């Protein structure tokens, strides 16, 4: 078994297969230090924690992760909070930076004797319709190589070799560009509120999400194609305070900006999540905009489903789970895509003053008002917000 990519999907899959007695190798393009320091997700759903618990992979997140259960909306109509641990299914998030989760998964895998090749870039998956497909690779010194296996798991993200290797027409590609971009920021500053902050403002969306006691993630709705380094740190903080209405609700804790990147809010789904012996999981299977913090959670869920199906096939000769892998995952993926798109519409409106823009913004306000006042809306929100 060859696994492409050592992100959450590839490493959960690797751990479960190795423990299930399946011979596997993980091929990772980047070096170990890069993989262990790449800051991305932070909000883990309750179901993700249950999966990691089930397989003994959750010790670090229970020790160092923070429980989180409140979000705060700030709009032209004031602010309100939702404690989603008291709504819907009564579940909470665990805030645990993705690079720490990846470090834990990697440590477990290597300690258990798992095989991983860093700085080994998969170039192509050849013969996915054959009994033993081949993965062509290039190592850090540019030397070519090849790995053969009964199955290949493409867990190498949206721009990886698994997607690139799919012949035209092998899968259907459903995609949406939400037409919105965010400047994602990591600041060396403690969180400014004890909640996820969602600010809707005439100048655009701003978001606040805790990561650790010292580091906070912020988002600013950003002009498409505008480089991430256009603004000075002071200008970024001034704009965050303006959109988050610091004048009414208190200033933000400022600090050096450690990282900034532009994220275009885009989503896509490949159907089915399989082409012959090549299976897709995580961002390689479906890219989801970070508006609802679902990507890493879906990656872990799909990896667990795929691992069980592969063990059933390879260890017990039962191919049923593999045949149903795609159909089992797709309802979760589409549910998350639906909620993520709903969040985008909740948090962004057109900036124009024409009739269409005014109409859309009034609908957005009505939606936020329903969320503020209706218990059934709040239950629905909570169930989808923490669920996968
Ligand atoms: P990853 O994590 O991208 O890992 C893929 C790995 O594959 C390697 N790779 C290759 N290796 C070999 N050969 C090749 N040709 C290769 N090409 C790539 C890469 O180096 C990498 O190590 O994919 P995976 O495992 O599918 O995990 C997906 C998640 O990383 C992603 O969905 C989340 O980060 C999305 N996301 C969030 N998800 C959440 O569930 N909760 C959050 O709070 C959350 N916040 C976020 C996010 C994504 C963000 N960005 C950067 C888009 C916040 C942000 C800003």
Which residue ranges make up each domain of the chain? Answer: 2-69+91-175+267-341
- Return all residues near 371 (Cβ < 8 A) that are at least 6 apart: 73, 82, 346, 377, 378, 381
Q: Report the pocket of ligand 1 as residue ranges, CB < 6 Å.
A: 4-10, 27-30, 35, 40-43, 98, 121-122, 155-157, 160-161, 184, 263, 282-283, 290, 293-297, 299
Kind of pairing, strands 144-148 and 134-138? Answer: antiparallel
Residue whose CA is closest, atom 3 of ligand 1? 157
CA 283 / ligand 1 centre spacing (Å): 6
DSSP assignment, residue 298?
H
Residue 350: the pLDDT is: 87
Residue whose CA is closest, atom 26 of ligand 1? 282
Residue 351: the pLDDT is: 83
CA 65 / ligand 1 centre spacing (Å): 19
Please say whether the beta carbons of 198 and 290 come within 8 A.
Answer: no
Split the chain (388 residues) into runs of 10 and give each run's mean pLDDT.
Answer: 98 98 98 95 95 98 96 95 97 96 98 98 96 95 96 98 97 96 97 96 94 94 97 98 96 97 97 98 96 95 98 98 98 97 94 92 95 98 94
* Model pTM above 0.85: yes
Residue 388: the pLDDT is: 84
Residue 371: the pLDDT is: 97
* Catalytic center residues: 68, 198, 290, 294, 385
Residue whose CA is closest, atom 36 of ligand 1? 41
Give me the DSSP letters along 105-168.
HHHHHHHTT-EEETT-EEEEEE-TTSSS-EEEEE-TTS-EEEEE-S-EEE-S-TTSHHHHHSPT
Among 10, 27, 95, 98, which is best to mutate for testing ligand 1, by the most ligand atoms less than 8 A from CB?
A: 98
Residue whose CA is closest, atom 41 of ligand 1? 293
CA 9 / ligand 1 centre spacing (Å): 9
CATH number (3.30.1110.20, 1.20.120.450, 3.50.50.60, 1.10.20.10) of 2-69+91-175+267-341 reads 3.50.50.60
Residue 362: the pLDDT is: 94
Residue 23: the pLDDT is: 96
């Amino acid at each position: 078994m060859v696994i492409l990519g050592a992100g959450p999907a590839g490493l959960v899959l690797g751990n479960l297969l190795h423990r299930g007695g399946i011979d596997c190798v993980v091929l990772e393009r980047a070096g170990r230090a890069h993989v262990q320091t790449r800051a991305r997700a932070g909000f883990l759903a309750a179901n993700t924690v249950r999966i990691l618990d089930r397989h003994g992979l959750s010790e670090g997140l229970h020790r160092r992760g923070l429980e989180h259960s409140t979000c705060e909306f700030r709009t032209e109509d004031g602010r309100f909070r939702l404690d989603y641990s008291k709504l819907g299914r009564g579940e909470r998030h665990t805030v645990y930076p993705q690079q720490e989760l990846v470090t834990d998964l990697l440590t477990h895998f290597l300690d258990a004797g798992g095989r991983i090749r860093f700085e080994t870039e998969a170039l192509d998956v050849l013969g996915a319709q054959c009994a033993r497909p081949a993965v062509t690779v290039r190592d850090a010194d540019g030397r070519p190589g090849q790995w053969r296996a009964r199955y290949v798991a493409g867990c190498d993200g949206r721009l990886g070799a698994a997607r690139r290797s799919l012949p035209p027409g092998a899968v259907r590609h459903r995609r949406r560009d939400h037409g919105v971009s965010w400047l994602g920021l990591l600041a060396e500053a403690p969180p400014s509120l004890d909640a996820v902050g969602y600010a809707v403002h005439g100048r655009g969306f701003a978001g606040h999400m805790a990561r650790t006691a010292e580091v906070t993630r912020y988002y600013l709705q950003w002009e498409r194609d505008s480089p991430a380094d256009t603004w000075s740190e002071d200008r970024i903080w001034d704009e965050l305070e303006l959109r988050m209405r610091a004048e009414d609700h208190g200033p933000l804790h400022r600090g050096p900006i450690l990282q900034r990147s532009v994220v275009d809010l885009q989503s896509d789904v490949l159907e089915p999540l399989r082409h012959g012996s090549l299976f897709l999981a995580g961002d390689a299977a479906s890219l989801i905009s970070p508006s609802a913090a679902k990507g890493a959670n879906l990656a872990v869920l799909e990896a667990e489903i795929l691992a069980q199906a592969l063990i059933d096939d390879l260890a017990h000769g039962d191919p049923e789970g593999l045949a149903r892998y795609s159909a089992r995952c797709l309802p979760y993926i589409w549910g998350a895509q639906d909620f993520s798109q709903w969040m985008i519409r909740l948090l962004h409106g057109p900036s124009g003053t024409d009739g269409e823009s005014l109409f859309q913004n009034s609908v957005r306000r009505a939606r936020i008002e329903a969320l503020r006042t209706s218990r059934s809306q709040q239950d629905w929100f909570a169930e989808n917000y923490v669920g996968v």
